[in-house]
Structure 1
Amino acid sequence: MTIDRRPTLSPAHPASASGNQNLGDLPVWKLDDLYPGQTSSEFLGAVQKAGSDALAFETKWKGKLSIALETVGENSLAQALREMDALEDLLGRIASYAGLTYYSDMTNPANGKFFGDIQAKLTDMSARLLFFPLELNRLSNDAVDAAMDRDPALAHFRPWIVDLRKDKPFQLDDRIEQLFLEKSQTGAAAFNRLFDETLASLRFKIGDEEMPLEPTLTMLQDADPAKRKLAAEALSKTFKDNIRVFTLVTNTLAKDKDISDRWRGFEDIADSRHLANRVEREVVDALAEAVREAYPRLSHRYYKMKAKWLGMDQMNFWDRNAPLAETPDRLISWDEAKDMVLSAYGGFAPEMAEIAGRFFDGGWIDAPARPGKAPGAFAHPTVPSAHPYVLVNYLGKPRDVMTLAHELGHGVHQVLAGGQGAMMCQTPLTLAETASVFGEMLTFRALLDKTTDSKERKAMLAQKVEDMINTVVRQIAFYQFERKIHTARKEGELTAEKIGELWLSVQEESLGPAIKISEGYETWWAYIPHFIHSPFYVYAYAFGDCLVNSLYAVYQNADQGFQDKYFELLKAGGTKHHSELLAPFGLDATDPSFWAKGLSMIEGLIDELEALDKAA
């Protein structure tokens, strides 16, 4: 199951589950909607049933799909796919419960053991099911197409089958595939867990106080420059003290990916991600190039303006997300944040607000920051038979409201796509970011429209520009960094110093001359979870932001019918290619001008800020 991990831009400070006097009661999710407990009869029974069902499925169908292809009804390929869909739902529900329990407190050894044990059992079950896609892909395409034309029940799964064929050129012998799968739990999965637990256990000393990652990162947004500097120094010191672990994890996973790519025959280091995202390499290359060409017009230009606003010739790297003097310093309570997001969603479509409201009313959100809790934010779709869950670390800052809007956009998307079933509901990462960024944009525009004070408007616009730079420019810089790391790793193991050099090279290029890169920043690659959990994931954020900018422009100029087309896009899940989904809106991601349109919206907001600045 995919867990979307929001870029760590505005982490939250510690708060108890009951909240504090400024934020109100912060909700904690209710995982008993999945299972009552780790030792409950419901959960243990589900694990036992999953194991027996996986064995029964293997016994019934392995080596028999060619016969099933010629059959209609009980022993048909359509029936096999229905049974596989049900199994995927059951396995996904178990995995979701174990994963969300673990992410609630990653430093609890009992949670780690529970997660590891369940992962091992699920891997064993998945190994029994691995034959199915491999054997199906060995059937003649013409024969399968003819069967789908003949049998409507099989035709229902056409999008999944057509999608599966794209993996065929990179498919290995069954025994090798099984080895890769089973060894993953002692390879990549183990190093992912090492990264997570190491990061969750880190403490950063500021004065006499030792703090976890979240509140330390939050201090980078403090209005006091001295506090921002102290936080940056603490982060740099602790990252440096632990850099050997992060270097080992990075080297190991890069090599692991290189081995897998070589065996499967991928030409480019990012091709496996492009395949998973069902997006063409040329489209991603065009996006990356368009953003890099726009660095001077976007980040370089904006940070030069911000340095002037802060009274500096150059900002220190820790000043990048500092608040402007015009930024209101009051905290936004949880109830206020809820009203802001639901009001914005409702202004677009009542159905969107109704679905998002379920997350608040049903205990589907975990909001307070706690020691050991996963950093940042994410939305986890679980499975169609259940409902999604959202994790945020709520601070009460405007950025946290935007993060909430972002994750609820994912949540709405996941609810709507659930109708496609477990095998076809998951959307490629590029399009998965569409609903989240669109939800953010709706919320921002709704709040901006209510703002009449020019100083407050300037602060809101500046914050939005910074968020867009973080989502587009910063993520493409991350993508370029990953490309450099994985390319260099082919020549041998990388030292921490070499990784730091590569990190600084892309940061200096993307941030521009208005940001002073000083000693200590060379280790800040270490805490980015995307590099570890999902190599090359990051370009999906830039893809989604630029796409939504173009999509929102269509919405602003649409007379009617936009909402219906938008909901059809979300309901499609993983059943359609991005070209099919964007066509009703007159958009084409293969057109080079598409990305220019998306980037022009960011440039337009910077123009507005410049005009406000001159008028002041």
Structure 2
Amino acid sequence: MYKQGRWSLSELASDHKSPEFAKQITRLEAKVKNFERIKSALKPTIPSKDFYRIIHHIEDLAEDASRLGGYASLLYSSDTQSDEATSLLTKISKLGSEIENKTLFFDLWWKRKIDEKNATRLMKDAGSLYEYLRHKRLLAKYSLSEPEEKIINTLDVTGSTALVKLYDKITNAFEYIITINGKKKKLTREQLSVLVRSTNPSLRKTAYQTLLGRFSSNKGVLGEIYQNLVLNWKDEGIEIRKYSSPISIRNIGNDVDDKTTQTLLDVCKKNSSVFYEFFSFKAKSLGLKKLRRYDLYAPSAKKFKEKNYTYENATKLVLDSLNRFSPTLSEFANRVFSQNHIDSQIRPGKRDGAFCSTVSPKLTPYVLVNYAGKSKDVFTLAHELGHAVHSQAASKQSILVSEAPLPLAETASTFSELLLYDNISHQMADTEKAAILSEKIDDIYATVMRQAFFTIFEVDAHKQIADGTTIEELSKTYMKNLKTQFANSIELSDDFAIEWSCIPHFYHTPFYCYAYSFGNLLSLSLFQMYQREGRQFEKTYIEILAAGGSQKPETLLSQYGIDISSAKFWQDGFDYIRSQVKELIMIK
């Protein structure tokens, strides 16, 4: 039986109130103190065996620190309104900053103090850690002195990290009062998001207006938080570290070329019309002349009653879909449930949305979802379990390279959604298939085109804020972005101008959003390879996942004939999307 519930964090740490938790911290601090003693051994001529002994110490520290940090973070995510969880997260974040400062000397030595000849000698036998060491050398030109790095690490805890936490605390405390059938109801954001997919056009509009109204009434403080986060990104990244542009900071961190990202965004912008025919079709199916922005995610089949899925049935569907492609991957996903590493309940204070957290390659990942029983929730479950599958496929990698860079991080999650759709679409009558395919295209729009335009907005917003701007001007820029994206295909209302403040990624992880576009289009390409090659593709796919972050994305994918710097590659993904729109219209 699969039942909704809370996750267990016992594998990460003892109860934070217990003496054993304090001992975990003490043991970690002792290891850090011991590590500091190796500073005198860091010479350019250090023997390889000594060098890799140090690397193994770093892996050990990363494992221990990640378990404590993961525990605090996941505890906070399960109840963001808990003062106790908030205090613990602050305490562990501060500890993490202190550890980073105390071990920083090795990082800076490798980046700045060892000559190229000896660096090449030591990297010769690095194996899967080669990319980790190479990438650090690449980052050398953006590194500062040890005292400067320590100051930044220390101030981040009460600076940008604190601002992000403040944004979360404010927005997760929002309560949304909405009138349904004459009765006032108090909803969470997750519950409100279900209503934007309602068959009732008035309810869809009210749901959006309730959400946007809540953020609009708090736009002063939320806008101030965002502007300061952007300025912090600029001051540290551009002014101090000398990166060439705000998005380049993310690109280099992702180990992906600026050209690749720009090509992706250019092709997305060029293909925005791919969805116009879909929006027109959807408007007709809803009996409208033109879609309003409120109707973007409305079910397109008016006569089709949306199916509800029990949590157990949803779980079995996702596991079966994975199993049809690869029993190995299905077993990986099932571990999340068997080890109670999933939090699926909807409750006040719990973080909105969904995520998968890989604390260590040695542990089964943790998954958070807010499961409400709709088909979109089933696909969200497949998405997050795809992340968990990816992590476990890469579990043989060192913790230093097990995590795939952001552009590849969304690949397995999206691929799992495609497998789910492929599995259930064959079991449906045309009416239901049309509804699910329409919803699938909705999701492709949301995770490809919408995310690309989010990133385009961020590029503009960061420039605007650097030049000095107001919250109203930012909102005008966002509306201009929406008009470029939709042209005349839908009706836009002015209340969507503040929507940018509702997007947590803008605050949490600047320029993260293009990873969704990247991962989804890449997954569409991989899925087409699977359809051509059949079961033999399983081996190739698992090899790509198993690489984790041990290879640069361009290098890894080129081994399988995929050139992500080519506009043609990204265009192939849009050609697939266009074919899906045509299939939907033919069904109807």
Structure 2 length normalisation: TM-score? 0.96
Aligned partners of 1:253, 1:147: CA distance in 2, in Å?
A: 38
Q: Show the counterpart of 2:492.
A: 517
Relative contact order (C-alpha < 8 Å, sep 6+): which is higher? 1
Aligned partners of 2:278, 2:497: CA distance in 1, in Å?
A: 23
Quick one: which of 95, 98, 119 aligns to 1:144?
A: 119
Within 5 Å, give how 1:148-227 maps onto structure 2.
148-149=123-124, 152=125, 154-155=126-127, 157-207=129-179, 208-227=184-203
**Contact 2:325/2:535 (8 A) holds in 1:** no
Residue 229 of structure 1 deviates from its aligned partner by: 1.9
**Contact 1:63/1:135 (8 A) holds in 2:** no
Q: Show the counterpart of 1:481.
A: 457
Distance 1:365 1:326, change over 3 A: farther
Aligned partners of 1:216, 1:50: CA distance in 2, in Å?
A: 43
**Contact 2:263/2:566 (8 A) holds in 1:** no
Within 5 Å, give how 1:227-266 maps onto structure 2.
227-261=203-237, 262-266=239-243
**Contact 2:356/2:388 (8 A) holds in 1:** yes
1:398 has 2:375 as partner: yes
1:27 has 2:1 as partner: no
Aligned partners of 1:395, 1:565: CA distance in 2, in Å?
A: 35
Distance 1:123 1:327, change over 3 A: farther
Aligned partners of 1:433, 1:131: CA distance in 2, in Å?
A: 33
Aligned partners of 1:192, 1:371: CA distance in 2, in Å?
A: 20
What residue identity is the alignment partner of 1:206? I
Aligned partners of 2:234, 2:263: CA distance in 1, in Å?
A: 24
Task: Classify the secondary structure of the residue corresponding to 2:386.
Answer: helix
Aligned partners of 1:448, 1:306: CA distance in 2, in Å?
A: 19
Residue 561 of structure 1 deviates from its aligned partner by: 3.0
**Contact 1:29/1:363 (8 A) holds in 2:** yes
Q: Show the counterpart of 2:399.
A: 422
Q: Show the counterpart of 1:125.
A: 99
Quick one: which of 53, 64, 72 aligns to 1:98?
A: 72
Aligned partners of 2:117, 2:145: CA distance in 1, in Å?
A: 22
Give structure 2 stretches of 5+ with no counterpart.
none
Aligned partners of 2:75, 2:22: CA distance in 1, in Å?
A: 15
Post-superposition CA distance 1:354-378 (Å, at most 9, x none): 1111111110111111111111100
What residue identity is the alignment partner of 2:440? K
Q: Show the counterpart of 2:28.
A: 50
1:350 has 2:327 as partner: yes
Task: Classify the secondary structure of the residue corresponding to 2:480.
Answer: helix
Residue 559 of structure 1 deviates from its aligned partner by: 5.2
Aligned partners of 1:218, 1:450: CA distance in 2, in Å?
A: 25
Aligned partners of 1:289, 1:586: CA distance in 2, in Å?
A: 22
**Contact 1:381/1:411 (8 A) holds in 2:** yes
1:569 has 2:544 as partner: yes
Task: Classify the secondary structure of the residue corresponding to 1:110.
Answer: helix
Structure 1 length normalisation: TM-score? 0.92
**Contact 2:299/2:438 (8 A) holds in 1:** no
Task: Classify the secondary structure of the residue corresponding to 1:375.
Answer: coil
Aligned partners of 1:402, 1:367: CA distance in 2, in Å?
A: 14
**Contact 1:27/1:368 (8 A) holds in 2:** yes
Q: Show the counterpart of 1:555.
A: 530
Aligned partners of 1:529, 1:266: CA distance in 2, in Å?
A: 24
How many residue pairs align between the two structures?
581
Quick one: which of 355, 361, 371 aligns to 2:348?
A: 371
Quick one: percent identity of the two aligned structures?
Answer: 28
**Contact 1:431/1:578 (8 A) holds in 2:** yes
Between 541-550 and 500-509, report the one with greater CA deviation. 500-509
Q: Show the counterpart of 1:275.
A: 252
Aligned partners of 1:372, 1:471: CA distance in 2, in Å?
A: 26
Residue 168 of structure 1 deviates from its aligned partner by: 1.1
Post-superposition CA distance 1:499-539 (Å, at most 9, x none): 11111111122133232111321111112110001100000
Task: Classify the secondary structure of the residue corresponding to 1:221.
Answer: coil
Quick one: which of 433, 436, 443 aligns to 1:467?
A: 443
**Contact 1:102/1:115 (8 A) holds in 2:** yes
Residue 326 of structure 1 deviates from its aligned partner by: 4.7
Give structure 1 stretches of 5+ with no counterpart.
1-22
Q: Show the counterpart of 1:81.
A: 55
The root-mean-square deviation of aligned C-alpha atoms, in Å, is 1.6
